[in-house]
Chains A and B, each alone.
Chain A
């Protein structure tokens, strides 16, 4: 009887503590918003839908080069290239796309099409498309894509910016190659010293191409820490 009452007393203390936790929440700011009325600000780089752009003179930027169609992992982009013809605005001969469709029902929003565009023609928007009642409505036709240019907020990224971010350093240019060289120099002896620990990103490249039979089992673990690794890998 005594033990049972001690246990019950413990539960009573826990209940009081639980109430304390609940009460603390009362004084915290509300975390949710009433969605359709209040829309949270999206990040600058948020990607939700697509738009095709015009240049300053009002000419279509897309030249129908099919780069985005080729890199799309889910193959949702279908372009009918028109070949070269005279621009109605500048009169210069350049490529055009006759038709451009993007199937949003299968798009995985990977941003690769934006990244590869040579003319910054396709960009992503921060606003989503409205819900659709049929699958056909989910297909962004060329008209819809050009309409999105005006009706939706553009996402931060376009091909120039995305490529630039990966190619050029943000820091002064003289600084970056030095930093990389220092990294390579510093990492090589470190990898040699800690060879038993098999750092995949560094130790593997040398052996990977020269020894095609390299497999997790073929790697003789010289140190005890590698033993569970080999067991787990098989």
Chain B
């Protein structure tokens, strides 16, 4: 910890009215190894007493040059690599990248594969939001009965979904179950019944989560009015997903630009207008409920048919995509995950850009943190649900 005096100057991220220019600001390095930074994320907090005056976030500690790696690998090899970007919701990573390739090739994904992808995406949303709720409660620390109660309860239910994914794909996280033109794994016999049973368990425990968090007096006091993000500012920053919807902007790509089979089911978008941490928690818990409803509605109606439009790729060097460029954005649990591919007719992409929702969520920090206390900084950061694997990629 070092004490540093910063001089008064024009700075868009500096809340100038908040601090006393005579006082010394304390520079607090928050992270990169702090348990509540959800990975390796660092921010420099300039403190006036306990109030955060200025925030300088630093990303890049988990940079693995995934985009460059994707340009070096052939199209057939990319899917298992991008799994590692958003390691809390790997399914949606695979879907985003393969949808971009399919768009370039002009492949129509079979209906059965689209339904399975939709179900996977929704189950992944449940698992991702459960993990977020658990770690968010952990961020609150001792105030929530140690916080680890909610954490362990959420992980217990998340395991049910990971088990189901394991049944289909053989892996718990890095599935590699999507491929260009469809899916690699068909769902095994009896899987639908298991899904329904698991969803019943999760649905029956949602009121418990609500009673531990949303209806918990301590939780409400720690989150209400904390870290308010204005809807217009959120749009300007490119913040998407539950954070945007908690700021009163009714935007969900599942409904607005339907991909997969979302044009065949009706998605009720959960929105809140408060824009604070409590609203974000309410939106995410509401989305778990909505995802359960969606999966229940779809699981019995999975159409028969093939799951892959083309043949599986045997020779990666022979699989070429015609020249062109495309941007495909899908709604992941964290927001809009975009993939921009420039293909040059060879087996490797000329340029591949991934637009991670977490990076844009983190860009809101310098705007919403000033004025909060240090303890609230942890809560606000947790409410943004950043995954550094995809923010740094």
Contacts and interface: CB of A to CB of B under 8 A. Distances in A.
A44 B176 CA distance: 16
A229 B170 contact: no
B277 interface: no
A212 B317 contact: no
Interface in A24-57: 24, 31, 42-47
Contact of B325 (A162, A167, A215): A215
Nearest to A24: B208
B81 A43 contact: no
A146 interface: no
A225 B256 contact: yes
A226 B256 CA distance: 7
A204 B325 CA distance: 10
Interface residues of A, number: 73
A176 B77 contact: no
Given A43-B170, A229-B251, A169 B80 contact: no
Main secondary structure of the interface of B (DSSP, over half): mixed
B304 A205 contact: no
A134 interface: no
A166 B312 contact: yes
B203 interface: no
A112 B80 contact: yes
A148 interface: no
Contacts of B324: 208-209, 212, 214
A82 interface: no
A203 to B, nearest CB: 9
B59 interface: no
Contacts of B106: 205-206, 208-209
Given A73-B81, A201-B103, A228-B251, A18 B236 contact: no
B312 A169 contact: no
Interface in B48-88: 73, 76-81, 83-84
B196 interface: no
A168 to B, nearest CB: 8
Contacts of B311: 166-167
A38 to B, nearest CB: 15
A167 B258 contact: no
B239 to A, nearest CB: 8
B299 interface: no
A228 B99 contact: no
A104 interface: no
B108 interface: yes
A42 B169 CA distance: 12
Nearest to A168: B306
Contacts of B99: 200-201
B108 A108 contact: no
Contacts of A194: 258, 263
A231 interface: yes
B145 to A, nearest CB: 6
A98 B263 CA distance: 53
Interface residues of B, number: 91
Given A73-B81, A184-B108, A205-B105, A200 B257 contact: yes
A112 B77 contact: yes
Interface string B261-274: 00100000000000
Contact of A110 (B176, B208, B259, B308): B176
Interface stretch (A9-17, A89-97, A135-143): A9-17
Given A45-B169, A200-B329, A200-B330, A180 B305 contact: yes
Interface in B270-318: 303-308, 311-317
A232 B208 contact: no
A44 B185 CA distance: 13
Interface string A196-232: 0111111011101100111110000000011011011
A171 B256 CA distance: 33
A14 B216 contact: yes
A84 interface: no
A5 to B, nearest CB: 15
Interface string B345-359: 000000000010000
Contact of A112 (B176, B235, B249, B360): B176
Contacts of A157: 170
A43 B177 CA distance: 15
Contacts of A204: 103-104, 326, 328
Interface in B114-155: 114, 145, 149
18 contacts: A17-B211, A22-B149, A45-B185, A71-B76, A175-B304, A175-B305, A201-B108, A204-B328, A205-B106, A208-B103, A209-B322, A213-B325, A214-B324, A214-B325, A214-B326, A226-B257, A228-B256, A233-B327
Given A165-B186, A171-B305, A205-B103, 16 more contacts: A14-B216, A45-B185, A71-B77, A111-B176, A115-B312, A166-B307, A166-B311, A183-B305, A197-B257, A201-B109, A201-B260, A205-B102, A208-B104, A225-B257, A232-B238, A233-B329
